Amino acid sequence: MDTIGIRAFFDGLNRDYLAVHRRKEELFWATYMATSDEYALFAEAEKAYKAFVSDPDRLAAVRGRMEALELGGAEGPSPGGPEEAERIELLKGLGGWRALFEANVVEGAEGQAAMDALIALEAELFAKRQGLKLRQLGESGAEEEATLGSLLTNESANPSEDARRSSLLALRGLEAWVLENGFIGIVKARNAFARAQGYRDYFDYKVRKSESMSPEALFGILDDFERRTAAANSRSLASLERAFGPSALEPWNIRFRMSGDVVRECDPYFPFEQALSRWVESFRRLGIGYRGAVMRLDLLERKGKYQNGFCHGPVPAFFDRGTWVPAHVNFTSEGRPRQVGAGLRALETLFHEGGHAAHFANVAQNSPCFSQEFPPTSMAYAETQSMLCDSLLGDADWLIRYAKRSDGTPMPASLIMRKIERSQPFRAYNDRTLLVVPYFERALYAMGDAELRGEAILSLARETERRILGAESPRPLLAIPHMLNQESAASYHGYLIAEMAVYQTRAWLLDKLGFVADNPAVGPLLAEKYWAPGNSMTHDQTIRALTGEGFSARYLADACNASVEEAQSAAEEAIEASLERSYPTAYPMSLDADIAIVHGSETIADNSTSEAKMCADFAAWVRAKYPKAEA
């Protein structure tokens, strides 16, 4: 057994992957942040990355060396010795590479050519999309340019029905634009690629590759959740109609009627400029650290910038022959500081994308293949980490400690109760907005090429929205950016599977620890059980490692079906306990990361002096650049 040669091969895989992955991710960031228009270079880098991870020759080479190591174990060194430890470590690392290549390998020259063509089509659509301007009626009633985030916020919080309708029309216009500018060709190309690889269609391909399950197994879970929450969803819509009339169910009204007045009442307790400091403090008090990661955060809207939050890591964290290689992580949002609801949206992004970053910065394996967001990493597993973190923002004990006006006045408990009164009846609806996407995408990719016409696709979208949500969606399906990129297309079900895992995890943490917000035991538990293994374990295995039971949808369904009175009673108990509790003071004094807050090419603030100064500099920059509320 040539252990030295196998070690050199393994180290070379790690090194070569880091190079191709980093180049692709840095160009991804630059083009998506609109600091570069090198679309061709990005497409080339994406092509090179895909060629690397889908190379059947590399897969064969990994398998051959694993066979040699396994044979050497049967014949070779005694258990417990350094040679045996080296063999076991190499087997584990190569096993990670085998899983990565098996999840991504493209069979045959024809398949590789189809993938290259698909990448080119998506790059062309992305370049066109950056030049598209969407418009709405804003807070003042005047027409303004809008991002996806501001359109959705305007629908939820603007008291003018005309303004809300303008946002919905802009989103519907985006749907039409997507269909006219290449999306139909991309769907056909995705299906052709998947069928050439031996799958029924692209949805079948993605579910099997990303989640290691069949579409039938996936929809066994989704159908069960749909049945469990259908009655609660119907009741909530009926209550809206009784209270506000049939127009309440129009797609531009439904979000506002669910929560618009409460969003405005809560807004002063979430000042945009304080979002960064509240994220830093809350994560530190949870015991969450980033193990020396280098992080860039781009948090404000900008022309040409990608209009959806995301987190990507140019450098995956891993141990390189025992030496720690910290992650490089970027995440973004599209904040509009003086829009109603923008402060809470900023917090949601920081907690969600910051949760992703904490996960990938804490994967502690011996190869970068274990710490990246692409297959074989399950999307549901990855989203569990981010959604678990952002779930805190709805907790009464977190709100009573962190939701404060700029002068420090805390959100009153009575407002928290009103917030629950308005939101709890629509819990089922909110989670079914995650459910509607996979039902649509499964049907979309099942359509034959001759059926794939704009009118038929829009008809399918509206029919699916009405069937699952009970009304047409305020976020039209084809305006969801995940569908435009092959990494996230046909993967949205991961959010709902993750939400189920979040509530299962929360139930265990509350049972074992008593409370979650500001509990410094939480971060180390997540780091050990959920984050450190990376994709060396399945989603279900990580849940079992922490909770001791297999995956269950019951906890989320129970939360969706709880009455307002039950939810308020639980919140009252949490607030009372929070006010009486002596919170732990032994928590990390920093996030253990090199953080820069950027706005395109400009650095707004960083923590080179301290995290406190970074947060103060960010708040001062926001106040200077956005001195007044939008007129």
Q: Is pLDDT at 81 greater than 80 in this prediction?
A: no
In this structure, the answer to whether residues 218 and 79 fall within a common structural domain is no
Residue 216's pLDDT is 96
**118 in a structural domain:** no
Q: Tell whether 539 is covered by a domain.
A: yes
State pLDDT tens for residues 405-432.
Answer: 999 999 999 999 999 998 899 999 999 9
Nearest residue to 136 via CA among 298, 275, 336: 336
Strand partners, 79: none
Question: 178 lies in which domain range?
Answer: 123-625
**Which pLDDT score is estimated for 268?**
95
Residue 629 has pLDDT above 60, yes or no: no
Report pLDDT for 577. 97
- My answer on whether 318 and 260 are in the same domain is yes
| 310-315 β-sheet, strand order | 310-315, 328-335, 293-300, 593-599, 602-606
Please indicate, yes or no, whether residues 174 and 81 belong to a single structural domain of this protein.
Answer: no
Whether residues 130 and 204 share a domain: the answer is yes
Which is higher by pLDDT, 2 or 144?
A: 144
Q: pLDDT, tens digit, for every residue of 89-129?
A: 999 999 999 999 998 888 778 888 888 888 899 989 988 88
Is the domain of 248 the same as that of 316?
yes
Q: Which of 373-382, 462-471, 527-536, 602-611 has the lowest mean pLDDT?
A: 373-382
The verdict on residue 631 lying in a domain is no
CATH number for the domain spanning 402: value is 1.10.1370.30
Summary mean pLDDT of the chain: 93
Domain identity same for 207 and 242: yes
pLDDT computed for residue 166 by the predictor = 97
How far, rounded to the nearest angstrom, does the alpha carbon of residue 269 sit from its chain's CA centroid? 25
For residues 112 and 484, which has the higher predicted lDDT (pLDDT)? 484
Q: Is the pLDDT of residue 239 over 50?
A: yes
Question: Residue 277, SS3?
Answer: helix
321 and 387 share a domain? yes
Residues 6+ apart with CB under 8 A from 172: 476, 479
Higher pLDDT, 382 or 157: 382
In percent, the amount of the chain with pLDDT more than 90 equals 80
Residues 383-412 have pLDDT tens digits of 999 999 999 999 999 999 999 999 999 999
Output the pLDDT for position 80: 64
Of 99, 87, 80, whose CA–CA distance to 7 is shortest? 87
In a domain, residue 163? The reply is yes
Nearest 5°: phi and psi at 136? -150, 170
Looking at the structure of the chain, the number of domains it has is: 2
The per-residue DSSP string of 36-64 comes to ---HHHHHHHHHHHHHHHT-HHHHHHHHH
Checking if the pLDDT of 78 tops 80, the result is: no
Q: What is the mean pLDDT of residues 505-514?
A: 97
Residue 111 inside a domain? The answer is no
Task: Identify the residue whose tokens are 């003071």.
Answer: 585
Residues 599 and 490 in one domain: yes
How far is the C-alpha of 59 from the C-alpha of 32, rounded, in Å? 31
Do 228 and 335 lie in one domain? The reply is yes
pLDDT band, residue 631 (cuts 50/70/90): very low
The answer to whether position 529 is within a domain reads yes
pLDDT score of 301 more than 60: yes
- pLDDT of amino acid 77: 58
Q: Are residues 96 and 129 in the same domain?
A: no
Residue 117 domain flag: no
pLDDT at 630: 44
| Domain final residue, candidates 105, 137, 166 | 105
pLDDT in tens, 264-283: 899 999 999 999 999 999 99
Cα separation, 426 vs 234, in Å, equals: 10
- Considering the domain boundaries, does residue 112 fall inside one? no
- Look at the pTM and tell me if it is higher than 0.85: yes
Last residue of a domain, one of 41, 74, 105: 105
> 140: pLDDT confidence band, cut at 50, 70 and 90?
confident
Which positions ≥6 away from 515 have C-beta within 8 Å?
397, 574, 577, 578, 581
Each residue of 189-203: pLDDT tens digit? 999 999 989 999 999
Q: SS3 for 271?
A: coil
Question: Span 121-139, mean pLDDT?
Answer: 89
Average pLDDT over residues 434-442: 97
Say yes or no to pLDDT of 600 above 50.
yes
Tally of CA atoms within 13 A in the half-sphere of 509 that contains its CB: 24
32 and 142 assigned to the same domain: no
Taking a C-beta distance cutoff of 8 angstroms, is the pair 6, 89 a contact?
no
pLDDT of residue 322: 94
Phi/psi-derived region of residue 600, left when phi > 0, alpha when psi is between -120 and 50, beta in every other case: left
> What is the rounded CA–CA span in Å between residue 275 and residue 597?
13
H helices within 199-311, ranges in order?
Answer: 202-211, 215-244, 254-266, 275-285
Together in a domain, 146 and 47: no
